Amino acid sequence: MKLIDLDTPTALLDEACVQRNIQRMQQRLDALGVALRPHVKTAKCVEIARRMQAAGARGITVSTLKEAEVFFEAGFDDILYAVGIALPRLAQVRALRERGCGLKLVLDSLEAAQAVCAAGPGLEVLIEIDTDGHRAGVDPEAALLLQIGQALQAGGAVLGGVMTHAGASYECRSPQALQAMAEQERARCVRAAQRLRQAGLPCPRVSVGSTPTALAAQRLDDVTEVRAGVYVFNDLVMHGLGVCRLDDIALSVLTTVIGHQPARGWVLVDAGWMALSRDRGTADQPVDWGYGAVCDEQGQPIDGLIVSGANQEHGIVSWRDGHADAALAQRFPIGQRLRILPNHACATAAQFGHYEVLGSNGALQRWERFSGW
Ligand SMILES: Cc1ncc(COP(=O)(O)O)c(C=O)c1O
């Protein structure tokens, strides 16, 4: 199989780039003296998680119980499910634990703590801490933190520690702001751990992270592990945050030119939002890439050319500044292949059931990915 033989649209991975991204994050966290528990929700692919493990990752993070099931079947047994538990699914959690899966849960309410304890003894739980006002979690200074800790301890659960995810890092607009956010994420989560310990409660794990804060952190004292995920592919949002270069983006969508509107300066391709996703994550960043950055078939970005519009199965390629360039029709004739770099790798990857993986020798292999909950 060669690139030319592939049907489009397809999710293409640059294998060497994936490997570089894995090494880079691992080396960075090794240097900061903290374990990496990668979030496998971006790739949802066993081959990739195995490469992360081989590079030194310890445990994995998942965003669905389906991921927990699939990765456990594949031999991963140290799994943090980092989304607040929906109580009707506690039976599934127990079943996984009984099969030997070291699944850990997160929660941030007394109700959930009580339900977890009622589901049976010995479930390991991390309390989610809000370090940035972005989403879920308990304020590190709140009385509720100790109440949840005490309820878990008294109810027979294993209080595994605290975790946080500073999602506000995606809105930072300078390296200084990112560094400050990384330190805020660290300091507030460590503070929550201290409060639990001062109250006589155990707090062995202090788990923080996202790709931008992991790469911006100057120190990670008193943190035990970092959860980063999208770094494995990177994307245009990460590029806009300044944490990767365009050529660090390992995932692209291979597409074919299917038509032209020369008077409008449009090239139509067979990758619409069904392939690219509707994610417009760069819309709020200084550089807006529309639905993706356009590269030639070899993956070289074409400066200024973006997917400016997307219907379900049609992508509209044009210059970012909107000028109607009739010459694009000759430059990119019908049948020409292009690659599109995604705004948000997790969302784009989720449109596909497998990856076509391009090795440095030009050979292709297929890695399965899965979806669902
Ligand atoms: C709870 C949690 N941890 C870790 C991550 C990983 O962050 P990133 O994808 O920026 O690496 C995410 C991403 O959404 C998350 O929700």
C-alpha dist (Å) from residue 90 to 64, 96, 342, 356: 13, 10, 35, 36
Q: 225-226 and 251-261 as β-strands: parallel, antiparallel, unpaired? A: unpaired
Q: Which of the listed residues 29, 39, 171 should we mutate to test ligand 1's pocket, taking the one with most ligand atoms within 8 A of CB?
A: 39
* Spatial separation of the C-alpha atoms in residues 91 and 60, rounded to whole Å: 21
* Spatial separation of the C-alpha atoms in residues 212 and 88, rounded to whole Å: 33
**Among candidate residues 249, 294, 256, the one with its CA nearest the CA of residue 10:** 256
Question: Which residues, judged by CB distance below 6 Å to any ligand atom, belong to the binding site of ligand 1?
Answer: 39, 61, 82, 165, 209-211, 227-231
191's enclosing H/E stretch is helix 175-198
* Spatial separation of the C-alpha atoms in residues 122 and 324, rounded to whole Å: 64
Taking the CA atoms of residue 362, residue 368, residue 369 and residue 372 in that order, the dihedral angle to the nearest 10 degrees is: 160
**Among candidate residues 134, 214, 139, the one with its CA nearest the CA of residue 182:** 214
CA–centroid distance, 61 to ligand 1, in Å, is 9
Going by alpha carbons, the residue nearest to atom 12 of ligand 1 is: 210
DSSP annotation of 85: P
* Spatial separation of the C-alpha atoms in residues 273 and 309, rounded to whole Å: 9
Taken in order of first residue, the domains within the chain and their CATH numbers are: 18-230 (3.20.20.10), 246-368 (2.40.37.20)
Helix, strand, or coil here: 21? helix
Tens-level pLDDT at each residue, the chain (373 residues): 788 889 999 999 999 999 999 999 999 999 999 999 999 999 999 999 999 999 999 999 999 999 999 999 999 999 999 999 999 999 999 999 999 999 999 999 999 999 999 999 999 999 999 999 999 999 999 999 999 999 999 999 999 999 999 999 999 999 999 999 999 999 999 999 999 999 999 999 999 999 999 999 999 999 999 999 999 999 999 999 999 999 999 999 999 999 999 999 999 999 999 999 999 999 999 999 999 999 999 999 999 999 999 999 999 999 999 999 999 999 999 999 999 999 999 999 999 999 999 999 999 999 999 999 9
Going by alpha carbons, the residue nearest to atom 13 of ligand 1 is: 210
Nearest atom of ligand 1 to the alpha carbon of 209: 4
